[in-house]
Amino acid sequence: MLASCAALALAVLAPAPALARDSARDKGLAEIEGRLSDPDTQQAMGDALAGMMAALLDMKAAPFTKAMDKMGKSMGGRPMARNIPDDATLGDLAGPDARRAPAKIARQVPQMMGAMGAMTGVMQEMLPQLEEMGKRMGEQMGKSIERAEQRADRDQD
């Protein structure tokens, strides 16, 4: 009787760590999906990245090109800095379309984050099938290795 109870307890409790792990994983994925799908988070991220791009485009280009020239000279390259005005910005070098980049980033980042949130939800739904596929692939790989070893052993005989 005691052995039966122990066996029953083991059968009931054995999956608990796996269920807890799956529950934590699912909670984490749901949290990621929620953040990526949140319009306020999307807008804040779009605004932040647009601001970073605008700041980058406003940086003076000469210090970068001079540093690149020093590096290039040591590698046998030709100088670039002499062809760039001292007051030129990275945006000037990137061309007129570059000035539209911050607005484009602010507009597109929320859309991309929404798509990533949707993909996270789909991945969460697919995870059991993907895990099962990985398990089957591992089993098949083991069988393939075993057959290859058997062929190698036969070839050595």
Q: Which of 67, 55, 61 has its CA nearest to residue 90?
A: 61
Distance CA 98, CA 105 (A): 11
CA atoms within 13 A on the CB side of 12: 6
Q: What is the pLDDT of residue 21?
A: 55
- Is 103 a domain residue? yes
Q: Which domain holds residue 106?
A: 37-64+88-114
7-13: list long-range contacts, CB under 8 Å, 24+ apart.
none
Q: What is the pLDDT of residue 143?
A: 92
- Is 51 a domain residue? yes
> Whose structure tokens read 């980049």?
101
- Is 95 a domain residue? yes
Distance CA 127, CA 129 (A): 5
pTM: 0.61
- Is 3 a domain residue? no
**Alpha-carbon torsion (43, 47, 53, 56), positive or negative:** negative
Q: What is the pLDDT of residue 23?
A: 74
Measured in whole angstroms, the distance separating CA 130 from the mean position of its chain's CA atoms is: 18
Instruction: Per-residue pLDDT tens, the chain, 157 aa: give them.
Output: 444 444 444 444 444 445 455 677 778 888 999 999 999 999 999 999 999 999 999 999 988 888 888 877 767 777 666 678 889 999 998 999 999 999 999 999 999 999 999 998 888 888 889 889 999 999 999 999 999 999 988 888 7
Q: What is the pLDDT of residue 26?
A: 76
Q: What is the pLDDT of residue 63?
A: 86
Split into its structural domains, the chain has a count of 1
- Is 44 a domain residue? yes
Q: What is the pLDDT of residue 81?
A: 61
- Is 136 a domain residue? no
